[in-house]
Amino acid sequence: MSRSHRLFDLLQVLRRHRGTVSGGALAREMGVSLRTIRRDIATLQAIGAEIDGEPGVGYILRPGFMLPPLAFTEEELLALAAGAQWVSNQTDQAWRARCRTRWPRSTVSCR
């Protein structure tokens, strides 16, 4: 698993826990070392994640924290739309359904 996926997954795990969760519990749930959890928490805090932590107590994601929306340029959106259109035309029904749920019909025609 890439580090970016692990960081995203860690945010999701913290979101699922309603209260404080220990670093050890996070490490077991994520299948990584406690040192990795500490490093990943520090990274998430550095990029703006509202995570509170106290030694011996654990970590908690502040209620209401949301990831910022993705920002694409017009060219990037056109490239994504073209890719979704290609997928909808070249693949099976399952992929067409995925395309349909991700892109508004006004942006991409998904059959």
Tens of pLDDT, residues 71-83: 667 787 778 778 8
Q: In whole angstroms, give the CA distance from residue 43 to residue 83.
A: 32
CB-based contact 62:52 (threshold 8 Å): yes
pLDDT digits (tens, 9 = 90+) for 38-49: 999 999 999 889
The total domain count for the chain is: 2
In Å, the largest CA–CA distance within the chain is 54
Instruction: Residue count of the chain, please give it.
Output: 111
Cα 86 to Cα 71: distance, rounded to the nearest angstrom? 22
pLDDT digits (tens, 9 = 90+) for 51-100: 999 888 999 999 877 766 566 677 877 787 788 778 778 878 877 777 66
109 is a domain residue: yes
* Token pair recorded at residue 42: 């520090």
Contact 24, 62 (CB under 8 A): no
Domain of 57?
3-61
Report the pLDDT value the prediction gives residue 80, as an integer from 0 to 100: 77
In a domain, 18, yes or no: yes
Please indicate, yes or no, whether residues 42 and 75 belong to a single structural domain of this protein.
no
Is 66 among the domain residues?
Answer: no
Predicted local confidence at residue 104, as pLDDT: 55
Same domain assignment for residues 56 and 8? yes
